[in-house]
Amino acid sequence: MDSKASNPSQHFQNTEDQSEQPLLALDAVCRAFHSGSNEVRAMNNVSLSVQRGELIAIMGQSGSGKSTLMNILGCLDTPTSGTYKVAGHDVSKLSTDELSSLRLKTFGFVFQRYQLLNNQTAAENVAMPSVYSHMPKAQRQTRSQELLHQLGLEGREHHKPSELSGGQQQRVSIARALINGADVILADEPTGALDSVSGQQVLALLKQLNRDNGTTVVLITHDPEVARHADRIVHMKDGEIISDSGHSNKNDNNQSETTLSQHSFKLETFDRIGIFTSLYLAVTSLRANLFRTLLTLLGIIIGVAAVVSMMAIGDGGKQQVLDRISAMGTNLLQVSPGGRNIRSSGDIATLSMADAEAIAAVHGVDLIAPERESRSTFRQGAYDYSGRIRGVTPPYFPMRDWHLSQGVFIDEADIQSFASVMVMGSTVAEALFPDGDNPIGKQVLMNSTPYQIIGVLKPKGASAGGRDMDDEVYVPMSTAQLKFFGSEYLSIITVKVTDTSLLGQVEAQITQLLKERHGVEDFRVRNTASLVEAVTETQDTLTVLLGAVAAISLLVGGIGVMNIMLVNVSERRREIGLRIATGAKPSDILRQFAIEALLVCIIGGAMGVALGLIVLLGLKALNVAVAFSLTPPVLAFSTSLLVGWIFGYAPARKAASLNPITALSEE
């Protein structure tokens, strides 16, 4: 009736008649433990056979080897020597999957301390092992309800273990042992933690199961009163059986053939539980430990959000600088003094206005903007300001696409007449006219010479290097050379070419021209493309740096996940031990834990991407340059998946390889 998930080809074909086999048969079994150099023989040469339908009490003092015997009977432990057969099958020859299926279907464990999952209800605890036998959800629910009713726990289905008495918890654990239709109940001191009344109830229950369902019961106790209820009593001492009251033969007396045939032994294996069931288990346990889950999520979210936002800020900065350069135009050349072999100490006096005029005559040159710059102090009334002064010619402003907030630019007439006029940047204007007076027409003293303000520029903001571009004043080149610099050398000449296609040709011609004029190559000609390259390089370094910081935070998040998963495993050792003892395969546990880690990283990754985008939207609203692109979120999200997979897998492996006996004995 219950072989839905079994594969007929995997049934063991028994040549011998099963009814003549003992259900459980130990033959000269020893189990030795090594602690350091000394060896403890917990079981020594134990031979015992148990018939179907028996109720056996195993007695003996503490340390006599009863639990060790029980663990071997339940296939949680293996003998050091000797053989153990279940219905004729030598257990040492069975595969891991077959052993799991024995624990799942044939044996039902009842522990002294109930071993219920504290954050699940009675019904969920009962149904737990049926997940691994692929019982459909509806059937799991009805069957656990039925069992709980049958064991007198009607109305308690949705109580957590902490809301139940000890006796009730033990009955829940008996129901759990029965959910997969166990042939044998192995109860290790089931009444040890109970008061005598509930102890009696639990015993009566086990007796009733034995009598009515033909369930074989092996019961460990040190209470003779309890043992009196059994058909057969086995005494152990120092790992050996010292007395055995023998088979009761009650099978022949009071059990019908039909009851027995219901329990005819079948060895089958089950597939690993499905991905959706694993997902369900993972979600259930993540929800049950909500606070821990949220903390882990936080680590991932911060890491991913950092990657997403920092990369966008780095890219945004780069984009902004490149935009400014391209706003200047791609048809520009810059001629600067000083070549490879010229030492650049102080002003390099190699480029002159005469050079500039010669360049202007080159075929393909549209405009030239020679300039000369220095620092100076500007004084107006009681205020002064130290900034940059630049000698320029009229084409300077349109070539940079700069605009006036008021007044006019320097024109050709100002150059011709050596006019003492200046156009000022907004920072200078604010510094010299803090009261908001109109600067136009006012006088500014520079090097004891008065200049009249004829224009104020619109603010331009910070340069690529972060320098304020508005703390400058502009004076006609002729005036600047005569009254300020006292020489006619230039800092730089910007050349605008009529057409971008002529750029290379003009560049070569200018180089040729200046070489002829100077006799040596004491100058440099650069085009915007090489400028873009230089800027891109520095900005990329910045982006990589930001990215590295973000990647480190993502790594820290990942280590957080691993840490939490490891803690998780240690904290949940008991649960894992229990799941394995009730029939979960190591691969089921592996999958559940791996999915848990992966799920956290998927959710954390998605939330991190969302948070990163929100931060970027905020920054954008604050006028910070950001560049949205798909790569950083995709990169961060897939990294978090990878992190989840790598860091989730190791602890999952650890969980799956746990020894259920030691895990269960921990508290």
Query: Rule CB under 6 A: which residues touch ligand ADP?
Result: 33, 35, 40, 42, 60, 62-68
Residue 223 DSSP SS3: coil
CB of 274 to ligand ADP, least distance (A): 34
- Minimum distance of Mg ion from residue 65's CB (angstroms): 9
Q: Give the nearest distance from C-beta 43 to ligand ADP in angstroms.
A: 8
Q: In sequence order, what are the residues at sequence separation of 6 or more whose Cβ sits closer than 8 angstroms to the Cβ of residue 556?
A: 299, 303
CB-nearest residue to Mg ion: 67
Q: Whose Cβ is closer to ligand ADP: residue 60's or residue 558's?
A: 60
User: Least distance to Mg ion from the beta carbon of 100, Å?
Assistant: 23
Select the binding partner of residue 65 from Mg ion, ligand ADP, none (C-beta < 5 to 8 A, by kind).
ligand ADP
Residue by residue, DSSP assigns 344-360 as --S--TT-BHHHHHHHH
- Supply angle C-alpha 450, 452, 456, rounded to 5: 130
Segment (H or E) for 655: helix 631-656
- Residue 568 in contact with Mg ion, rule: CB under 5 A: no
- Residue 539 is a binding residue for Mg ion (CB under 5 A): no
Q: Does 582 bind Mg ion (CB under 5 A)?
A: no
Pick the closer one to Mg ion by CB: 68 or 543.
68
Q: How many residues in the shown chain lie near Mg ion by CB under 5 A?
A: 1
**Minimum separation from the CB atom of position 239 to Mg ion (A):** 12
- Closest to Mg ion by CB, 6 or 67: 67
Q: Backbone phi, then psi, for 63, in 5-degree steps?
A: 90, 5
Nearer to ligand ADP, 613 or 661 (CB): 661
**Distance (Å, whole) CA 571 – CA 250:** 45
Of these partners, Mg ion, ligand ADP, none, which one is at the site of residue 64 (CB under 5 to 8 Å by kind)? ligand ADP
| CB closer to Mg ion out of 65 and 557 | 65
- Least separation in angstroms between CB 66 and Mg ion: 5
CB of 577 to ligand ADP, least distance (A): 13
CB under 5 to 8 A by kind: which of ligand ADP, Mg ion, none does 460 bind? none
Region of 29-37, 60-68, 293-301, 511-519 interacting with Mg ion (CB under 5 A): 60-68
Q: Taking the complex as a whole, how short is the minimal distance between the CB of residue 106 and Mg ion, in angstroms?
A: 22
Nearest CB to ligand ADP, comparing residues 73 and 590: 73
Phi, psi of 133 (to 5 degrees): -100, 15
383 binds, among Mg ion, ligand ADP, none (CB under 5 to 8 A by kind): none
Stretch that binds Mg ion, among 65-73, 397-405, 530-538, 608-616 (CB under 5 A): 65-73
613: left (phi over 0), alpha (psi -120 to 50) or beta: alpha
Given the complex with ligand ADP, which of 63 and 407 has the nearer CB atom?
63
Residues 6+ apart with CB under 8 A from 144: 123, 124, 126, 127, 130, 157, 175, 179
Q: To the nearest whole angstrom, how small is the minimum distance from the Cβ of residue 563 to ligand ADP?
A: 28
Partner in contact with 547, chosen from ligand ADP, Mg ion, none, beta carbon below 5 to 8 Å by kind? none
Distance of CA 609 to the CA centre of its chain: 12
Q: Of 21, 51, 64, 67, which lies in the binding site for Mg ion, with binding defined by CB under 5 A?
A: 67
Torsion of CA 601, 603, 606, 608, to 10 degrees: -70
Output 104 or 576, the one with its CB closest to ligand ADP: 576
Q: Which helix (H) or strand (E) holds 11?
A: none
CA 195/CA 530 separation, integer angstroms = 89
Smallest separation, CB 42 to ligand ADP (Å): 3
Q: Is 613 exposed, middle or buried (0-12, 13-18, 19+ CB in 10 A)?
A: middle
Terminal-to-terminal C-alpha distance of the chain: 38
Choosing among Mg ion, ligand ADP, none, which partner's interface includes residue 68 (Cβ < 5 to 8 Å by kind)?
Answer: ligand ADP
Binds 73, which of ligand ADP, Mg ion, none (CB < 5 to 8 A, cut-off by type)?
Answer: none
Q: Which of 175, 229, 190 is nearest to 56 (CA)?
A: 229
**Min separation Cβ 661 and ligand ADP, Å:** 7
Q: What DSSP letter does each residue of 503-538 carry, written as one string?
A: HHHHHHHHHHHHHHHHSS--EEEEEHHHHHHHHHHH
Q: Under DSSP, is residue 136 helix (H, G, I), strand (E, B) or coil?
A: coil
Q: How far apart are CA 455 and CA 319, in angstroms?
A: 30
Strands 492-497 and 523-527: unpaired
CB closer to ligand ADP, 60 vs 314: 60
**CB of 58: closest distance to Mg ion in angstroms?**
10
Q: Give the separation between CA 65 and CA 491, rounded to whole angstroms.
A: 96
How many Cβ atoms sit within 10 Å of the Cβ of residue 135?
20
- 58 or 359: CB nearest Mg ion: 58
User: With respect to Mg ion, which residue has the nearer C-beta, 30 or 322?
Assistant: 30
Sequence-distant (≥ 6) Cβ neighbours of residue 248 within 8 angstroms: 54, 55, 231, 232
Cβ-based nearer residue to Mg ion, 551 or 664: 664
Interface residues with Mg ion (CB under 5 A) are 67
